[in-house]
Amino acid sequence: MSTTLFDKVWDSHVVRKIKGGPDVLFIDRHLIHEVTSPVAFLGLKSRNNSVLFSERTFATADHNTPTINQHLPVEDPLSANQLKALEENSAEWGISHWGLGHQNNGIVHVVGPENGITLPGATIVCGDSHTSTHGAFGAIAFGIGTSEVEMVLSSQCIMQPKPKKMRISITGELGTGVTPKDVALFIISKLTTSGATGYFVEYAGDVFKQMSMEGRMTVCNLSIEMGARGGMIAPDEKTFEYVKGRPLAPKGSDWDKAMAYWETLSTDEDAVFDKELTFSASEIEPMITYGTNPGMGTGILNSIPNASEVEGGEATYKKSLDYMGFAEGEAMIGKSVDYVFIGSCTNGRIEDFRAFASIVKGRKKADNITAWLVPGSHIVEAKIKEEGLLDIFHDSGFVLREPGCSACLAMNDDKVPAGKVAVSTSNRNFEGRQGPGSKTLLASPLVAAATAVTGVVTDPRTLL
């Protein structure tokens, strides 16, 4: 029978099927961080359970860490306590732990792939919804709650009903200045934030084939923002090339064994999806959001739609524009901006910083802009230095911070003040996401860079 990539990976991980209930799904790789794991470890203890396979769980500190002076003690006592809990729990159970200052430390969805934890055909979970990132490798990867973190610690399994399958194909070639982030924001704007709820998405077609691994990670990362549990792309030579030689990737005969499995990982030609969508790359422009969910996005040259043009309730739509201080019909280009943030598990990889540098090179940061450049990991940070990007940033008046989730969710001090507008390469523009009262415009690293040097929302194509 013809099957999809998703079926192949899912079905090969089902330990038991429960009649009228979920599947018991084996988890190959489990990533944990300081915010959603402490209660899971408490639960483990209170039930007298132990960690079943400590070598399958990997800990990194990222959500709640400062992005300056990481060599000093963390000032906020609550944050310090969470970091200590992660370190102690990891030590107690023999789990690999990359704490603050460790050379491999960084955002969980950045360090997983760059260290070879993320593998094609694997099942990967983490107490973080952007775990969908790892689907770029042809893995089934999705976010879970803390109860499920405890399940994985104690049994290496979780219980999940099998999602429906959706394929999103994009044909053709992307235009100049149109990035993977724009592709994702475009899809979400078409589907809305609940359009893929209940589905697992496979991305297919020319655009994704041509896309770099980093770009694929950006797209899969944002799958959750259309409600999908996750998104995946069939592994190809580019994938294998990326994985090969990474510190924790299989080696020698293990590599050969893994390759034999990985080469089977594609959707059969006549396999059937529950839903199929196709778009043309030529429809996609550099995108920007104007509202308080990632589905409220549009081409950067467009104006804010009228309530009657969008799906959903008018009251909710107007509440959202009120929060932003925007009105229907206003142009997005030229809107005044106060902050620019480049980073996060969505756009905190080396390619994103290269894109940012390509625009700011030879230009100066606008005076009205406070810019936060936060690499996704120490490895990304090292590459930024190695490739000379740091010099470009310094010459243009930008400072590079230390790795972490930072202003994406603003658990640390990187908070956009109330009433201020940020152009952000992160993943969510919810009310107060980047700090109470903050206003977020989601966009690509190119749009962020163009905005950082002009001080207002700017089409990067005018500066390329």
Residues 210-269 that bind another protein (CB under 8 A): 224, 227, 229, 250, 254, 257-258, 261
- List the one residue out of 411, 335, 322 whose CA is nearest residue 368: 335
Stretch that binds another protein, among 97-105, 126-134, 281-289, 370-378 (CB under 8 A): 126-134
Q: Which helix (H) or strand (E) holds 111?
A: helix 108-114
Does residue 127 bind another protein (CB under 8 A)? yes
Distance CA 91, CA 238 (A): 36
Task: Give the residue with the Cβ less far from another protein, 14 or 463.
Answer: 14
List the structure tokens of 243: 């994985």
Stretch that binds another protein, among 171-179, 351-359, 403-411, 441-449 (CB under 8 A): 403-411
Q: How far is the CB of 361 from another protein (least distance, A)?
A: 34
Query: Please, are residues 296 and 320 in contact by the beta-carbon 8 Å criterion?
Result: yes
Determine the 3-state secondary structure of 262 from DSSP. Answer: helix
Query: Please, are residues 414 and 372 in contact by the beta-carbon 8 Å criterion?
Result: yes
Does residue 96 bind another protein (CB under 8 A)? no
Q: Which of 54, 96, 169, 197 binds another protein (CB under 8 A)?
A: 197
Stretch that binds another protein, among 133-141, 274-282, 327-335, 409-417 (CB under 8 A): 409-417
Distance CA 289, CA 300 (A): 8
* Residues 10-49, mask of contacts with another protein (x by CB under 8 A): -----xx-xxxxx-x-x-x------xx-xx--xx---x-x
Stretch that binds another protein, among 72-80, 326-334, 351-359, 444-452 (CB under 8 A): 72-80
Query: Please, are residues 463 and 323 in contact by the beta-carbon 8 Å criterion?
Result: no
Q: Which of 411, 416, 423, 442 binds another protein (CB under 8 A)?
A: 411
Task: Give the residue with the Cβ less far from another protein, 53 or 394.
Answer: 53
* Residues 274-313, mask of contacts with another protein (x by CB under 8 A): -------------------x------------------xx
Does residue 424 bind another protein (CB under 8 A)? no
Distance CA 25, CA 365 (A): 49
Q: What is the DSSP letter of 106?
A: B
List the structure tokens of 131: 């775990």
- List the one residue out of 299, 284, 301 whose CA is nearest residue 173: 284
Instruction: Considering only residues 330 through 359, tell me which ones interact with another protein, judged by CB under 8 A.
Output: none
Distance CA 289, CA 440 (A): 8
Does residue 107 bind another protein (CB under 8 A)? no
Query: Please, are residues 295 and 320 in contact by the beta-carbon 8 Å criterion?
Result: no
